[in-house]
Structure 1
């Protein structure tokens, strides 16, 4: 795990996973899916909504629906920096 990811988690960020269902530009009756993951803040989800806006402005395939989940991996009270040494034999 990256040092920056740990700092984000300690600030309250959690892992957000979204599945985007979109229509193919040339075949409107075909649905395709795309998986997106990033660290985001619940309940506002600024990064997720920024990506949805990007999709609507830049991607030709119109969105059909978005399904997402959010999991807070650690919180500030759940993490402690431990320093120690264990000797065996």
Structure 2
């Protein structure tokens, strides 16, 4: 019998992570191409993204230039508190 691998879920603490990967084209190294990656991942360690980038380095020809990560814990509204006093500075 095959064992089913448990998929990550919101309940386990996973949430949507998006990474914009800029990489050099193998045939034209002076040109950059964009690749968008989305997956459920655990913040802040991002094990799924690290696995994907390791796969990229070992399997794909285009060397990575930069990676920009977006996650809901990085982009969320600031916590607001009411202020009970006011201070004036000259």
Same fold (TM over 0.5): yes
Relative contact order (C-alpha < 8 Å, sep 6+): which is higher?
1
Note the C-alpha offset of 1:10: 1.3
Partner of 2:53: 52
Question: Is 1:8 aligned to residue 9 of structure 2?
Answer: yes
Matched residue count? 68
In structure 2, the residue corresponding to 1:25 is in which secondary structure?
coil
Give 5+ residue unaligned stretches, structure 1. 73-89
Name the counterpart of 1:27. 28
**Cα distance between partner residues in 2 of 1:61 and 1:69:** 22
Matched, 1:43 2:44: yes
CA RMSD of superposed structures (Å): 1.7
Computing the radius of gyration from Cα coordinates, the structure with the larger value is: 2
Query: Shift of the alpha carbon at 1:49?
Result: 0.3
Q: Distance in 1 between the 2:54 and 2:16 partners?
A: 19
